Structure formats: C-alpha cells, structure tokens
Amino acid sequence: MRRTKKHNWLRRYTGVYNRGINPRGFHVSQIKFYILLLPLTAVMLLPIAFIFSNAFKPPDELFAYPPRFFVINPTLKNFTDLFSMMSNSGVPISRYLFNSIVVTLVTIAASIFVSSTAAFALSKKRFKLKQTLFTINTVALMFVPIAVTIPRFLVIERLNLLDTFLVHILPVLAMPVGLFLIKQFIDGIPDETIEAAQIDGASDLRIYWQIVLPMIRPAIATIAILTFQAAWNNAETSTLYVNNESLKTFAFYLSTLTATTATGANVVAGQGIAAAAALIMFLPNLIMFLILQGQVMSTMSHSGLK
C-alpha cells in the first residue's frame, strides 16, 4: 500500500512513474547532463579527429600557417608514399608486423596471468610480508618508465636477454597498475564464496579458474587494453636492447622510417608519411578499446564501490 502511494505521488508531482533517480529512458530532467557532458565529449574527441584529419592532409595543408585542424582536400598520397617506402625495406615488413603481433598477444596473456594470480594471492591468501609486498607494488606506480631505464638495462644484461625475443616480453610482465586494479576487484569477492568452495574440496587452482576469473572479467579486459597499448606501441625495447633487425617490432620500424624521412632531403614528404604512420599505429588501439569498452566502463564504476 505504501509503495502504491509513493508511485502515485511520483506520477502526480513529477510525471515520472517508477523512474527513480536514474531513469532508464530519456526524461527532460536529463537535459542538464547533456548540456554539461556533450561539450566535454567533443573536446575529448578532438585528438582522435586530429589524428585522422592529419593523416589525409596534402603537403600544403600540413605546413599551412596558421595551422588547420581539419583537412580540406583529403588525399591518400601520404599512405601511398609510406607503403612505397615499406616495399623498399631490406627486411620484409611482414617480419616486423609478425614480431609485433606475437609479442603483443603473448604479453597480454602472460601479463593477465601474472597479475591475476598475484592479485588472488595478495587478496585471499594469508602469508608473511603480504602487506609489505602490496605496498612495494603501490610505490612502483609512482615511477615513470624513463626513471627505471638504467636499472632495467642492467637487469636485462645480467639475465642475458639482450638481442633475444624474450626481451620484448619478460620486462613488461609485472604491471603494477594491473596487479593493483585486479586486487581491488578480487577484494570485492566475498570471502564466504571462497570458503564455501574450499569446504567443497576445490583446490586453489580450481577456485582461481572457475570462480575468481569469471568474476573479474571487467578488470581483465581493462588490463588487456593497457597491456596491448604498452606492447603494440613499444619501440624503446627494439632501440635499446635489440641489434638483430629480424627481432625488432613494427612500432620501431615505423618510427625509424618516419624519422629517417623527416630528417632527410624530402622533409615535406616525411611529415606526411609520419602522419600516416601515426594513424596506422593508432587504429589497433582504437579498435581494441571499442571492442572491450563495455568491460572498461564496468571496471571504472566498480572501482568506486567498496
């Protein structure tokens, strides 16, 4: 009876029936959110629009003053010049692309496994120095990659990983942000669920595989995107640790190709090739995010619920 009176009151004074504070459909009260969020969305989309626009600019628009944000006379010449230079490379372009694909896929799988198993242990297991280890991981979040370049090089040299395929994978497996995010997700799994599975005789491996992993899929998707971006765009490893040209990645190849052209005799063509290469490197990141963006939104909303 009380619930019926409440609904009647809502219908009488607001014209909304059973909508609550977050109505499923559109309501006039939501206009204020669109007024605020649509301009912010447009600003956030500007970098993406610039990458696409810049890749199709002819030389006169690339060097126009004042600079133009959007292309007026789009052309494919930047891409044809880029592919023409690729065909003249000493090492087949397919080799660089193959290396990047293998490195990216292996790194994603291995990073998810390492981060999720470590997070499971730190969240649901009891052992000495547990809090200390997690604190060290949290402190590691503050270090930017360039700050650890020299220590990383010394460790890689001591492990004899220089000029090997594993140098692309092993140094990036331990992602502090991945461990932190997944642990926060696993903390939300009730201890009673884990204890009930243990009473039924489930091993730690079975609990991890059949209970924990299905419940942290949004966090795994987020880590997959972050790892994909780090591995796919990584040209630093090929520059610092690899001398064998057949072991280098597609990101290194494009960065070297565009840098050589941009500093050579034909600087104008080099800028166009660099713009086209930037779009080619960006597209896989965008596609990856669009595929998994629903899971990422779930991760962000879950991070504020404790």
Residue-wise pLDDT tens digits, 238-292:
999 999 888 999 999 888 877 666 555 466 667 888 888 889 999 999 998 888 8
pLDDT at 175: 87
Q: What angle do CA 13, 17, 23 make, to 5 degrees?
A: 105
User: How would you classify residue 276: left for phi > 0, otherwise alpha for psi between -120 and 50, otherwise beta?
Assistant: alpha
Residue that the structure tokens 């005799």 belong to: 265
What DSSP state is assigned to residue 90?
S
The per-residue b/e assignment along 1-11, b for 16 or more CB within 10 angstroms, e otherwise, is eeeeeeeeeee
Residue (of 224, 24, 194) closest to 108 by Cα position: 224
Residue 69 lies in a domain: no
Tokens, residue 211: 């209970």
Residue 278: CB atoms within 10 A of its CB come to 17
Residue 268: CB atoms within 10 A of its CB come to 15
More confident: 29 or 94? 94
Give the CA dihedral 279, 283, 284, 289, nearest 10 degrees.
140
Which long-range CB contacts under 8 A does 92-95 form with residues at least 24 apart? 93/250, 93/253, 95/246
More confident: 20 or 178? 178
Residue 244: partners with Cβ closer than 8 Å, 6 or more residues away: 163
Alpha-carbon distance of 128 to 86, in angstroms, equals 55
Tokens, residue 303: 């991070």
Tokens, residue 176: 């502090």
Whether 61 has a pLDDT exceeding 70, the answer reads yes
Residue 2 lies in a domain: no
* Residue 245 belongs to domain spanning: 82-302
CB 235 within 8 A of CB 160: no
In the chain, what is the straight-line distance between the N-terminal and C-terminal CA atoms, in Å? Answer: 34
pLDDT tens readout for residues 74-129: 999 889 888 888 777 667 888 899 999 999 999 999 999 999 999 999 999 988 98
List the CATH number of the domain containing 182: 1.10.3720.10
> What's the pTM value of the predicted model, to 2 decimals?
0.80
CB 141 within 8 A of CB 180: yes
- Domain tally, the chain: 1
3-state secondary structure of 50: helix
Residue 101 lies in a domain: yes
CB 287 within 8 A of CB 138: no
pLDDT at 37: 87
pLDDT at 289: 87
**CA within 13 Å, CB half, 41:** 6
Alpha-carbon distance of 18 to 106, in angstroms, equals 49
Residue 4 lies in a domain: no
Residue 146 lies in a domain: yes
Which percentage of the chain shows pLDDT scores above 90?
34
CA 277 vs CA 130, 179, 195, 265: distances in Å: 45, 32, 52, 19
Residue 283 lies in a domain: yes
Tokens, residue 71: 């292309």
pLDDT tier, 17 (very low <50, low <70, confident <90, very high otherwise): very low
Residue 47 lies in a domain: no
pLDDT at 94: 85
Residue that the structure tokens 């499923």 belong to: 24
CB 186 within 8 A of CB 216: yes
